[in-house]
Amino acid sequence: MRLNGKRILLIIGGGIAAYKCLELIRRLQDEGAGVRCILTRAGAEFVTPLSVAALSGDKVYQDLFSLTDEAEMGHIRLSREADLLVVAPATADLMAKMAAGLAGNLATTALLATDKPVLIAPAMNVEMWSHPATQRSVQTLEADGVARVGPAAGDLACGETGPGRMVEASEIVDAVADKLGGAGLLAGRKVLITSGPTREAIDPVRYLSNHSSGKQGHAIARAVANLGAETVLVTGPTAETVPAGVQAVHVESARDMLAACEAALPADVAICAAAVSDWRIADEAGQKMKKSAGAAPPALSLVENPDILATLSKPGPNRPALVVGFAAETENVIDNAMDKRKRKLCDWIVANDVSAGTGTFGGDNNTVHLVGADGVVDWPTMSKAAVAERLAETIAGHLNGKRDAAE
């Protein structure tokens, strides 16, 4: 049984293919999964709540504003207690709402509130599927890291022929198993991640820092923990919450960050996503520096901070098997990243453009290039969560002997 102990939240959308969900529930259960269902209002036009409840062996959730449902199982818990959310059939309407981040009913609210992977099985008329609006939704959902199975091509219920048919229940079960099968890919490995900015004190009330929000580094910690790694996140000050199952060490300065990283060794993998200040103040003032009338502003002199990535990459018994740096560049992104990889002796470097207007610092999306010894792979613009998942899967593939960064 490939899905033993896994919990699936199945969201049944409003399309003729909804009838296939009855078989899907059975097949997921046959593989050992527990299935809880949300039936949309349109979905209930095609299958009855009674048949869904009878097959799933659980209550069917339908109403965002149901006092009894919310009292028993709030919509947040409903989406968080699952290992995976499956949307089948994913109609054009549901996909457009997901892509736009709308949350006007129980299904879309659960989808927006979840921190778990989502798999969609689209089904619709062929013209609806190929419509630019639907294709825009598909692209947005892909960039958000939503997995998709289908649609298949063939005769459609509307009498037309082409892509738009929901794939069979057995194919959805295979896609679910693939998606959740990755859960143990980094089991038994320890991964150290740095995230966020550092703060270098000028005096007790002022500091030097940068715009890093920690979104990218924290997303990586979440993604590697989801693949089963023992995860240590050394983070500068951020507003991000520490992902479940991740051990966090909170630091302020580059020197604190280096000490925390060294204390976390040995590790199999180190990923340096933090924006570490290259310099600190040479003489940090013990008391708040005072402004006095007529006096010139103080001249701050800087000294170089230790380089954490270069330190972790140094050959030696404690060197992680794979060290991955990030390169934040505002020009010549790839060339500078290649040069940085060589200078700092790390194995891979993830290059990203942080120039004004990209929104990389603090934003939700990132466009990265994975630079390894064998070359460069350009990734499409994705959410930081999707970048993190892809990086975690690439690392797992490398450690498990499947491929290098540039393959």
Active site residues: 158
In the set 109, 114, 253, 360, which binds ligand PMT (CB under 6 A)? 360
Greatest C-alpha distance within the chain: 85
Residue 3 C-alpha from the chain's centroid: 22
Is there binding between residue 199 and ligand PMT (CB under 6 A)?
no
Which residues, 256 to 275, sit near ligand PMT by CB under 6 A? 272-275
Nearer Cβ to ligand PMT (110/208): 208
364 binds ligand PMT (CB under 6 A): no
Q: Binding-site residue total for ligand PMT (CB under 6 A)?
A: 29
Q: Tokens standing for 202?
A: 């000028």
Which of 215, 319, 341, 398: binder of ligand PMT (CB under 6 A)? 215
- DSSP states of 96-108 as a string? HHHHHT--SSHHH
Determine, following the binding rule CB under 6 A, whether residue 323 of this chain makes contact with ligand PMT: no
Q: Which is nearer to ligand PMT, 165 or 340 (CB)?
A: 340
Could you say which of 13, 117, 150, 214 contacts ligand PMT (CB under 6 A)? Answer: 214
Q: Does 213 bind ligand PMT (CB under 6 A)?
A: yes
Question: Which residue number, 180 or 275, has a Cβ lying nearer to ligand PMT?
Answer: 275
Tell me the residue type at 103: A
Question: Residue 337: which of 365, 303, 375 has the closest Cα?
Answer: 375
> Which residue's CB is nearer to ligand PMT, number 20 or number 340?
340
Site for ligand PMT in 115-174 (CB under 6 A): none
Q: Which stretch binds ligand PMT (CB under 6 A): 110-118, 165-173, 183-191, 323-331?
A: 323-331
The interface region with ligand PMT, picked from 33-41, 103-111, 158-166, 208-216 by CB under 6 A, is 208-216
User: Which range touches ligand PMT (CB under 6 A), out of 17-25, 166-174, 213-221, 222-230?
Assistant: 213-221
Q: How far is CA 82 from the centre of its chain?
A: 16
Burial class (CB in 10 A: 0-12, 13-18, 19+), 346: buried
Tokens encoding 291: 């402004």
Nearest residue (CB) to ligand PMT, 172 versus 281: 281
Between 189 and 341, CB nearer to ligand PMT: 341
Nearest approach in angstroms of CB 382 to ligand PMT is: 12
> Is residue 254 part of the contact set for ligand PMT (CB under 6 A)?
yes
Helix, strand, coil percentages, rounded to 5, for the chain: 35, 25, 40
Cα separation, 7 vs 29, whole angstroms = 10
Does 307 interact with ligand PMT (rule: CB under 6 A)? yes
Q: What is the DSSP string of 291-351?
A: P-TTPPPPPP-EEEPP-HHHHHHSSSTT--SEEEEEEEESSSHHHHHHHHHHHHT-SEEEE
Calpha distance 106→207 (Å, rounded):
45
Amino acid in position 390: R
**Counting contacts by CB under 6 A, is residue 327 touching ligand PMT?**
yes
Ranges within 379-398 binding ligand PMT (CB under 6 A):
384
Tokens representing 304 are 């170089």
Q: Minimum CB separation from ligand PMT for residue 269, in Å?
A: 13
How many helices and strands (H and E) does the chain possess? 14, 22
Whether 210 contacts 197, CB under 8 Å: yes
DSSP states along 265-306: -S-SEEEE--B--SEEESS--SSPPPP-TTPPPPPP-EEEPP
* Binders of ligand PMT in range 329-358 (CB under 6 A): 340, 352, 354
Nearer to ligand PMT, 327 or 392 (CB): 327
Residues near ligand PMT (CB under 6 A)? 194, 212-217, 254, 272-276, 278, 305, 307-309, 325-328, 340, 352, 354, 360-362, 384
